[in-house]
């Protein structure tokens, strides 16, 4: 079949549907769901999120210069969808989704206790691109759920039940197809078979 030519648009999938918390844990705070989030630099560690200016959380993030990215799991997928379609102007999303606020280390925004990973961020630049404004931010702290740490202090994030968003639907991650670098990793030689005859036969 021939390729169908669509008009230019956003068709980069799958994406992480993350819960972004903002505001002040002691005063007013809110949650919004962001699918346009990404890693932009390793050293210094930096991320970005894109938010529509009309979103209730937009001004909180712009005024404070802070936000927290909370990774979502199968247990959090309902909250992720809910926080993406309802406005914090009308309801308390924390209460409606039964999510727990935890104090952060470097920002005033609360962490989502139920999330396996919380990424504290400070905005370094705002790019007004069009329908969305991009918040470029430096990572100031990362929190990981201890239940996914093993005896060797290795973090097994993929056991937390992470979800992805693709073309209008949420998906749980499937089976592992390979690990980073597997395509060039040397394969282990097969152990030599013992061809000696069994003396008991």
Report the pLDDT value the prediction gives residue 191, as an integer from 0 to 100.
47
Report pLDDT for 187.
75
- Give the pLDDT band of residue 125 (cuts 50, 70, 90): very high
Task: Kindly report, residue by residue over 26-53, the tens digit of the pLDDT.
Answer: 999 999 999 999 999 999 999 999 999 9
pLDDT digits 0-9 by tens, 133-167: 999 999 999 999 988 989 998 999 989 999 999 99
Give the model confidence (pLDDT) of 56-75 as tens digits: 999 999 999 999 999 999 99
Can you tell me the distance from the alpha carbon of 57 to that of 175, in angstroms, rounded to the nearest whole number? 35
Is 199 a residue whose pLDDT tops 70? no
Q: Contact at 8 Å (CB) between 164 and 170? A: yes
pLDDT for 190: 58
Distance, in Å, from the CA atom of 118 to the CA atom of 112, rounded to the nearest integer, reads 7
Query: What pLDDT score was predicted for residue 189?
Result: 62
Specify the pLDDT at position 44.
96
Domains in the chain with CATH codes: 18-172 (2.30.110.10)
Q: Are 144 and 117 in contact (CB under 8 A)?
A: yes
The reported pLDDT for the residue numbered 25 is 94
Percent of the chain at pLDDT above 90?
Answer: 75
Average pLDDT, the chain: 91
Specify the pTM: 0.89
Q: What is the pLDDT of residue 10?
A: 83
The structure tokens listed for 12 are: 């980069």
Each residue's pLDDT tens digit, 88-116: 999 999 999 999 999 999 999 999 999 99
């Amino acid at each position: 079949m021939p390729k169908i030519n669509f008009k230019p648009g956003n068709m980069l999938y799958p994406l992480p549907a993350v819960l972004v918390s903002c505001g002040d844990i002691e005063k007013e705070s809110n949650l919004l769901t962001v699918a346009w989030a990404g890693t932009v630099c390793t050293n210094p560690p930096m991320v970005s999120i894109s938010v529509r200016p009309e979103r209730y959380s937009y001004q909180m993030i712009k005024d404070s210069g802070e936000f927290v990215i909370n990774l979502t799991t199968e247990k959090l997928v309902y909250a992720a969808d809910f926080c993406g379609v309802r406005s914090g102007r009308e309801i308390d999303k924390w209460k409606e989704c039964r999510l727990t606020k935890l104090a952060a280390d470097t920002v005033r925004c609360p962490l989502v206790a139920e999330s396996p990973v919380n990424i504290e961020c400070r905005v370094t630049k705002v790019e007004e691109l069009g329908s969305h404004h991009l918040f470029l931010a430096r990572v100031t702290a990362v929190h990981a759920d201890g239940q996914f740490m093993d005896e060797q202090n290795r973090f097994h994030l993929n056991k937390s039940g992470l979800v992805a968003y693709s073309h209008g639907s949420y998906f749980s991650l499937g089976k592992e197809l390979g690990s980073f670098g597997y395509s060039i990793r040397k394969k282990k030689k097969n152990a030599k078979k013992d061809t000696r005859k069994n003396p008991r036969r």
